[in-house]
Amino acid sequence: MIDILINQAREKMRKAIAVTQNDLSSIRSGRATPALVEHIAIPAYGGTQRMRLMEMATITTMDAKTIVIAPYDPSQAGDIEKGILEANVGLTPVVDGEIIRISIPSLSQERRLEYLKLAKIKLEAGRVMVRQIRGDAMRDIKKLTDVSEDQQKHGERIVQELTDEMIADIDGLGEKKEAELMQV
């Protein structure tokens, strides 16, 4: 039973890391990446519904400074442009025929430091999620009545080792993001 609880905790912690990684990918780093725009909600088809940009178009990068958006329905290019501007993410789309180009401006040192603070907040949120999962797993192990005290202690030690490993993974994500943000 302890093994099942540990495996459940491991899966939940991996999901928490995936959420943290997804949060970090939305932070601009001066490099073009589809993650900067793919989750923007666009008012589609006359504003009757909102769709995420990734559902409406192919998003690619032409180079380190340019995102190219090719709408599945070329008549939606104007709506996509308007939606990106309304999202207020600091990007200016330019409609070029049937495609939309977004040039990513270089970040100022002040802006890099702001994004670094934001990244640290998101990383700490990831650590908190992992710690909450650890706490839940520890409580579940303590509730088990059909195992010995030694087995409980062993299970708690494994959960703590797993937690330390996952926190180290989150720290690694943070170091990569910091290096990416501070790269000029």
Pairing of strands 41-44, 93-96: unpaired
30: pLDDT strictly greater than 80: no
Q: What's the mean pLDDT in 9-24? A: 93
Q: What's the mean pLDDT in 123-147? A: 93
Q: Which domains does the chain have, with CATH numbers?
A: 2-25+108-182 (1.10.132.20), 34-103 (3.30.1360.40)
Residue 143: both structure tokens together: 């509730």
Taking the model in full, what pTM does it have?
A: 0.71
pLDDT tens by residue, 43-79:
877 767 888 888 999 999 988 889 999 999 888 888 8
* % of the chain at pLDDT higher than 90: 47
35: pLDDT strictly greater than 90: no
- Cα dist. 79→42, 83, 94, 114, 166 in Å? 7, 6, 12, 30, 41
What are the two backbone dihedrals, phi and then psi, of residue 100, each rounded to the nearest 5 degrees? -125, 130
- Cα dist. 89→115, 132, 156 in Å? 13, 31, 43
State the average pLDDT for the chain: 89
pLDDT at 174 (0 to 100) = 93
What is the spatial distance between Cα 139 and Cα 5, in angstroms, rounded to a whole number? 10
